Amino acid sequence: MLKSLIDEERIVTTVAKAKALRSYADQMVTLAKRNTLATRRQAIAELMIRFNPLTDKEERAARNGDTAAYNTDRRVIQKLFGELGPRFTERQGGYTRLIKSKRRVGDNAQTCVIEYLAD
């Protein structure tokens, strides 16, 4: 769920799951703000990312700037350290926001939107 939040920057889930996810999401941005090799490795370990090797065709496309050649895990790391980290360099915490929304139809659970701030 954390990978989806980093990739999409906004997901809809239950309030309990969002509150649990919030601390992990803030920790990942804190790691991305430091942007060192050690913090990249730590984020990869926390997100349990296992890179698959690119095929020759995907490598050529990646060298030409085509980001579609990367799988989701590569995009998540690029977005975390390339966009989210620099976006929140001046902010000292509180990178996410919870917005409560309507109840779910099937089980009447309270849902909410968790998103990164547009700082």
Per-residue pLDDT of the chain (119 residues; tens, 9 = 90+): 999 999 999 999 999 999 999 999 999 999 999 999 999 999 999 988 777 777 788 788 878 877 665 667 888 999 999 999 999 999 999 999 999 999 999 999 999 999 999 87
| Burial (CB count <10 Å: 0-12, 13-18, 19+), residue 55 | exposed
Contact present, 43 and 117 (Cβ < 8 Å): no
pTM: 0.80
State how far the Cα of 97 lies from the Cα of 112, in Å rounded to an integer. Answer: 10
CA distances, 39 to each of 36, 56, 118 (Å):
5, 29, 23
Check residue 48 and give its pLDDT: 84
Please name each of the domains of the chain with its CATH number.
1-116 (3.90.1030.10)
* Beta sheet of 96-103, edge-to-edge order: 10-14, 110-116, 96-103
